[in-house]
Amino acid sequence: METFVIEGGHRLSGTITPAGNKNAALPLLAACLLSDQPVILRNMPDIADVRVKVQLLQSLGIECSWLEDNVLRVHAATINTSEPDIALARRIRTSILLAGPLLVRTGRAVLARPGGDSIGHRRLDTHFLALVALGAEVEVTKQAYELHTAGLVGTDIFLDEMSVTGTEQAIMAAVLANGTTTIVNAASEPHVQDLCRCLFAMGAKITGIGTNTLQIQGVSRLNGTEYTLGPDFMEVGSFIGLAAVTGSNIRIANARPEEHRMTRIMFGRLGVTWQDEGPDIVIPGDQELRVRDDLHGVVPKIDDMPWPGFPPDLMSIALVIATQAHGTVLIHEKMFDGRLFFVDKLLSMGARVILCDPHRAVVVGPAKLFGERLTSPDIRAGMALVIAALCAKGTSIISNIAQIDRGYQRIEQRLAALGARIERRPAE
């Protein structure tokens, strides 16, 4: 068990480059099973969740090797078993994404209930409804999901919700199904688009990429390919928030600014501004963070929704920014019923937040934050606490940082390069 020791109250400066998109990396690793040829994935983030997923593939007999930093080669020439390692599967949420590829390659899959962040109930029904529509049979037990099929057949699927991983599951099962599949009410986040583009490069026939309706013409086989992941959307949003609350001038290189139009709107309600310079985002220092009321002085709201709406993974960051902005704002987390439970840790630092219920918090700012002993409850809340500690007065110690390591690559080294006073230490 390690901790981050953070001395807050210092301005940062410089350039930081986001790592590859975690939420693209994990489904792309599952997609490698769809071909018996090598797939080389570039800009792969070296984070704990990716390492666990790689081990999970290796437990199936799949060859995985790092060719160099952030370049991974996966070769699923043969698959030795349809039952991924139970202990590994329970450590990450996206272990469930092996269901479709295993059904396609072996006709069978036995998967333990997946792990992941404790941010409330996260239903998996959409996955299985899509697989059943394509011709799979599913048996649900208390500890596992057992699936088999004599062959998947293309069909028309209307997803019961815009589930990101549910959409990814349906896409991977459909690309090698017999016939045409139409997926309506599909998620269209940047990482879903990355998955589609990689599969397209492997020979899949997919149209409608980036929209909520996908049409997939099944093919008989997929080839190997090389594919470069896009930047991690959540890291970019996190670094924007970090610059804003610490009054720092930071350039985020290769940030895909076009993906942050809604981030600009929501963070803008807190007074955060930045400039797009080609592929980079530049946040000026010494911004005056001030809540922008709605018409007639109405308290504004920051809420999340499916893409292209504001992503739920940035709600924790928005809440921390709100603690430093003049005015009152409502944070409304619609999509997960446990995401806001980290608020108690901000309260211990001096934040003025009223947690109305599991989905709504009223934030009154600005509040002077002070260093505190904290525990990271999940990936995104963990990064939010790092940001809060960096703008607080005094020293904070954050434990359970393995949660942060799951999603952020060597974050303390990258922030230290900007001038942050942050160290990784063994737990006391």
> Is the alpha carbon torsion for 172, 175, 178, 182 positive or negative?
positive
Last residue of a domain, one of 213, 228, 243: 228
377 and 267 assigned to the same domain? yes
Decide if 280 is catalytic.
no
Q: Give the residue numbers of the binding site for phosphoenolpyruvate.
A: 22-23
Q: Give the residue numbers of the binding site.
A: 22-23, 93, 313, 335
The confidence band for 427, taking pLDDT boundaries of 50, 70 and 90, is confident
Residues 171 and 157: beta-carbon distance below 8 Å: no
311 and 210 assigned to the same domain? no
pLDDT at 122 over 80: no
pLDDT in tens, 65-91: 999 999 999 999 999 999 998 888 888
153 and 250 assigned to the same domain? no
pLDDT (mean) for 35-58? 96
Predicted pLDDT at 91:
83
Residues 156 and 215: beta-carbon distance below 8 Å: no
Q: Give the residue numbers of the binding site for UDP-N-acetyl-alpha-D-glucosamine.
A: 93, 313, 335
Sort strands 71-75 and 275-277 into parallel, antiparallel or unpaired: unpaired
Last residue of a domain, one of 228, 248, 274: 228
pLDDT at 180 over 80: yes
pLDDT in tens, 62-71: 999 999 999 9
Spatial separation of the C-alpha atoms in residues 339 and 383, rounded to whole Å: 13
412 and 382 assigned to the same domain? yes
64 and 146 assigned to the same domain? yes
The confidence band for 143, taking pLDDT boundaries of 50, 70 and 90, is confident
238 and 107 assigned to the same domain? no
Last residue of a domain, one of 171, 196, 228: 228
Candidates 46, 49, 69, 117; catalytic one = 117
Instruction: Give the structural domain span for 113.
Output: 22-228
Predicted pLDDT at 268:
97
Write phi, then psi, for 313 (nearest 5 degrees). -70, -15
CB atoms within 10 A of CB 427: 10
The confidence band for 115, taking pLDDT boundaries of 50, 70 and 90, is low
Question: How many residues are recorded in the chain?
Answer: 428
What share of the chain in percent tops pLDDT 90?
89
413 and 293 assigned to the same domain? yes
pLDDT (mean) for 313-324? 96
152 and 248 assigned to the same domain? no
Residues 192 and 212: beta-carbon distance below 8 Å: no
pLDDT at 118 over 50: no
pLDDT in tens, 326-367: 999 999 999 877 789 899 999 999 999 999 999 999 999 999
Q: Which residues pair with 298 in a beta bridge?
A: 294
pLDDT at 373 over 50: yes
Burial class of residue 164 (count of CB atoms within 10 Å of its CB; 0-12, 13-18, 19+): buried
Q: Which residues pair with 146 in a beta bridge?
A: 110, 139
Sort strands 327-332 and 301-303 into parallel, antiparallel or unpaired: parallel
pLDDT in tens, 240-254: 999 999 999 999 999
Q: Which two tokens stand for residue 39?
A: 């797939």
Over the chain, what is the mean pLDDT?
94
Instruction: DSSP for 38-93, please give it.
Output: -EEEES----HHHHHHHHHHHTTT-EEEEEETTEEEEE-S----SS--HHHHTT-G
The confidence band for 120, taking pLDDT boundaries of 50, 70 and 90, is very low
199 and 299 assigned to the same domain? no
pLDDT in tens, 182-208: 999 999 999 999 999 999 999 999 999
257 and 148 assigned to the same domain? no
Spatial separation of the C-alpha atoms in residues 148 and 152, rounded to whole Å: 10
7 and 63 assigned to the same domain? no
248 and 349 assigned to the same domain? yes
pLDDT (mean) for 13-42? 97
Predicted pLDDT at 317:
96
Which CATH number goes with the domain that contains 88? 3.65.10.10
Predicted pLDDT at 119:
39
Total domains in the fold of the chain: 2
